[in-house]
Amino acid sequence: MTVLDPIIAFIVAYKGRNIKLAQVVGCVDRPRKPVLRVLDRLAREGYLVEITDKPISPGMGENGPPRRNPTWRIVAEKRAELPSRSSKAAAHKNTNRDKIWKFIRTRSRFTGADVCRTCECTHKTVADYIRILEREGFVRVVGVDEKWKVWLRVKELPIKRPRFREKSAGEVSA
């Protein structure tokens, strides 16, 4: 679930016309900075209009510039048009497999260690996914570098990562 989803739900359910940053942060139970970014984005897209911005001075022992403390007016005509996002689409935004896929698309030869280091994934995740790519004919082993297999991209890969059906432990391939 993203920060945007609960904020949109709050705005749609809110009966008043004006909302303050502190109200939204308190109701959606998310950190202040991401909430502020989302509300600014909704203001740029025309769903909110910023009315005031009374900065909060740093407290005793705090440094830095004053923090923003804006108030927005909800645009009534656009309230019904607020973007609805499915949680399923948001959940699969940038998975480890997406990272691995992007890395393999940019390299013709690679080792599992290269992928682990660059994509910040575990060796097991990388090995499992490369095994699936080998089964589907996208990559093949061409040698060994120290203790790591060297993989070669066999064919040109599409931009979007294809979805493969996982074989369960009890399933027999034909």
pLDDT in tens, the chain (174 residues): 577 888 888 888 887 788 888 888 888 888 888 999 999 988 888 888 899 988 888 888 888 888 888 999 888 777 667 766 544 554 556 788 888 988 888 888 999 988 998 888 899 999 999 999 998 888 999 998 888 899 998 877 777 787 776 655 555 554
Residue 12 lies inside a defined structural domain of this protein: yes
CA atoms of 72 and 17, how far apart (whole Å): 8
Q: In which domain, by residue range, is 78 found?
A: 4-89
Indicate the pTM of the whole model.
0.47
Cα end-to-end distance, the chain, whole Å? 39
Into how many domains does the chain fold? 2
For 12, residues 6+ apart whose C-beta sits below 8 A from its C-beta are 79, 82
Residue 142 lies inside a defined structural domain of this protein: yes
Q: Please, are residues 5 and 38 in contact by the beta-carbon 8 Å criterion?
A: no
